[in-house]
């Protein structure tokens, strides 16, 4: 197996948030074999890559999204969630075929590779198309067939059967780069019975759960009206949190609800831009972190974001909560960076394999062009990445030791074709 060493400025972003100014990482067979100061003698490696002037850091993990929806970017802006879903998204998504999902997801994957995301979570339909793209492009992903229960019993059965078949075919495939979760869409679109059926299958197949939860005030009020309790108690009562669970949003939470999430070690995907744009609110992240809840970052879809640049979420994670709480020390840069990396790995239940540059973990990393004015003076790389950096600074994206982008050139996907086909598929939709 070929051994490769890359040296530059290494941000290990492990628990110590160590930065090694003249550092190196080495990897073999997709796994990191060395992280530390640049060795004096590099001759034992088969390939030596000089990345001086670049930052080398763990790839970012986007813990919530709907890739196929990139076909609907800009189709409905400035609308609150429920109206956006019911009047705009669902009528168009109802017309989606596998081909729509394929090309919408292709746009998404291109954007994520370009902006340094190496692992993503996708909850959508026609998931075989997404899984095939993951195989082809070399990305890493936790995939789930999102199930909305607002349909006939027969359709619900079909959706659950699809999910099960998808997990049997794809869980731990693509050399382990694909994992699968079971995903009831939300408590307000899935009856308790349907959620229970999905949970039973998750238990049988030993898969985690992924669900939208407590995104809007409307949702919480609706849950109380329908079931007499708020969404957190509702899902707890159904036993969802007895399985490893990743919830998206968690915006409207009481202190008691945060305690429940902490007690069950429920992982939270914080989707700042989507929550702001859909006027849903701001999640109580400082309180969640204080109580030990594992909070990571997600973009949601480009129909509500409107991009998949996790660097934007990273900066917002570090500044938004300061503004909301009038406290400049909440969510410091290092904490925000962990949310985008190691907590993301935790969100996909792979903290031991992903999310930091440590020997034995996957060689999933990115390089940034730090030879730009906004990275200088070069004394505080983590501050610069979080507060001054941008996804456009990413020059190289590597997953399991394979370059998906090298010096800004995409190596595993045809961008021009994807743009052409996505426009063609969008124009076929009846609007
Ligand atoms: C079939 S699963 C995907 C389903 O989720 C919808 N969706 C996209 N963004 C959100 C959001 O922020 N909250 C709730 N649901 C969302 C999407 O339109 C798909 O129908
Ligand atoms: Zn979502």
pLDDT at 305: 98
User: Is the C-beta atom of 219 inside 6 A of ligand 1?
Assistant: no
CA of 344 to the centre of ligand 1 (A): 20
The CB-side HSE value for 148 (13 A sphere, CA atoms) comes to 11
pLDDT at 139: 98
Say if residue 73 carries a ligand binding annotation. Answer: no
3-state DSSP helix/strand/coil percent for the chain, to nearest 5? 40, 25, 35
- Ligand 2 is an ion; residues with CB less than 5 A from it: 300
* Cβ atoms of residues 32 and 358 within 8 Å: yes
- Residue ranges and CATH numbers for the domains of the chain are 3-59+354-410 (2.30.40.10), 60-347 (3.20.20.140)
- Please tell me the distance from the alpha carbon of residue 358 to that of residue 345, in angstroms, as a whole number: 13
The rounded mean pLDDT for the chain is 97
pLDDT at 15: 62
Say if residue 64 carries a ligand binding annotation. Answer: yes
Q: Whose CA is nearest to atom 6 of ligand 1?
A: 85
pTM over 0.90: yes
Pocket test of ligand 1: the residue of 68, 69, 121, 122 to mutate, having most ligand atoms within 8 Å of its CB, is 69
User: Is the C-beta atom of 181 inside 6 A of ligand 1?
Assistant: no
User: Is the C-beta atom of 59 inside 6 A of ligand 1?
Assistant: no
CA of 125 to the centre of ligand 1 (A): 11
Q: Please list the rounded mean pLDDT of every run of 10 residues in the chain (431 residues).
A: 92 79 96 95 97 96 98 97 96 98 99 99 98 98 98 98 98 98 98 98 98 98 98 99 99 99 99 98 98 98 98 98 98 97 98 97 98 96 97 98 98 98 98 94
Q: Calculate the alpha carbon distances from 307 to 72, 74, 114, 369 in Å.
A: 11, 10, 12, 21
pLDDT at 68: 98
pLDDT, tens digit (0-9, with 9 covering 90-100), for 349-386: 999 999 999 999 999 999 999 999 999 999 999 999 99
273 backbone dihedrals φ, ψ, rounded to 5°: -65, -45
pLDDT, tens digit (0-9, with 9 covering 90-100), for 180-232: 999 999 999 999 999 999 999 999 999 999 999 999 999 999 999 999 999 99
User: Is the C-beta atom of 146 inside 6 A of ligand 1?
Assistant: yes
Percent of the chain with pLDDT over 90: 97
* Cβ atoms of residues 371 and 53 within 8 Å: yes
């Amino acid at each position: 197996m070929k051994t490769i060493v890359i040296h530059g400025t290494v941000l290990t972003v492990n628990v110590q948030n160590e930065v090694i100014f003249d550092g190196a990482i080495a990897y073999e067979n997709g796994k990191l074999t060395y992280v530390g100061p640049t060795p004096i003698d590099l001759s034992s490696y088969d390939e030596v890559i000089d990345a001086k002037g670049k930052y080398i850091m763990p790839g970012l993990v986007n813990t919530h999204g709907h890739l196929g929806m990139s076909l609907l970017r800009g189709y409905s802006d400035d609308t609150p969630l429920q109206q956006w879903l019911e009047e705009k998204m669902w009528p168009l998504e109802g017309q989606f075929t596998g081909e729509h999902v394929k090309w919408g997801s292709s746009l998404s994957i291109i954007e994520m590779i370009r902006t340094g995301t190496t692992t993503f979570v996708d909850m959508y339909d026609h998931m075989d198309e997404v899984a095939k793209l993951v195989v082809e492009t070399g990305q890493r992903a936790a995939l789930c067939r999102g199930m909305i229960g607002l349909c006939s019993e027969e359709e619900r059965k079909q959706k659950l059967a699809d999910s099960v078949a998808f997990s049997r075919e794809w869980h731990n495939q693509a050399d382990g780069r694909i994992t699968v979760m079971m995903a009831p869409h939300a408590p307000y679109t899935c009856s308790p019975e349907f959620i229970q059926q999905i949970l039973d299958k998750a238990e049988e197949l030993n898969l985690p759960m992924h669900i939208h939860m407590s995104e809007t005030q409307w949702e919480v009020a609706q849950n109380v009206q329908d079931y007499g309790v708020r969404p957190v108690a509702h899902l707890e009562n159904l036993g969802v949190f007895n399985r490893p669970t990743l919830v998206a949003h968690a915006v409207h939470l009481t202190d008691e609800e945060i305690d429940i999430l902490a007690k069950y070690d429920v992982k939270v995907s914080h989707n700042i831009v989507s929550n702001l744009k859909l006027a849903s609110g701001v999640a109580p992240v400082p309180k969640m972190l204080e109580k030990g809840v594992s909070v990571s970052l997600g973009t949601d879809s480009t129909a509500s974001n409107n991009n998949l640049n996790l660097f934007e979420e990273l900066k917002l994670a570090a500044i938004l909560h300061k503004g909301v709480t009038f406290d400049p020390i909440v969510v410091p840069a290092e904490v925000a960076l962990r949310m985008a990396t190691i907590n993301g790995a935790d969100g996909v239940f792979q903290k031991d394999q992903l999310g930091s540059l440590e020997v034995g973990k996957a060689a999933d990393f990115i390089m940034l062009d730090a030879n730009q004015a906004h990275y200088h003076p070069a004394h505080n790389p983590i501050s610069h990445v979080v507060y001054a950096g941008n996804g456009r600074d990413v020059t190289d994206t590597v997953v399991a030791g394979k370059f998906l982008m090298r010096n800004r050139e995409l190596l595993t996907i045809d961008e021009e074709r994807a743009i052409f086909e996505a426009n063609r598929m969008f124009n076929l939709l009846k609007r």
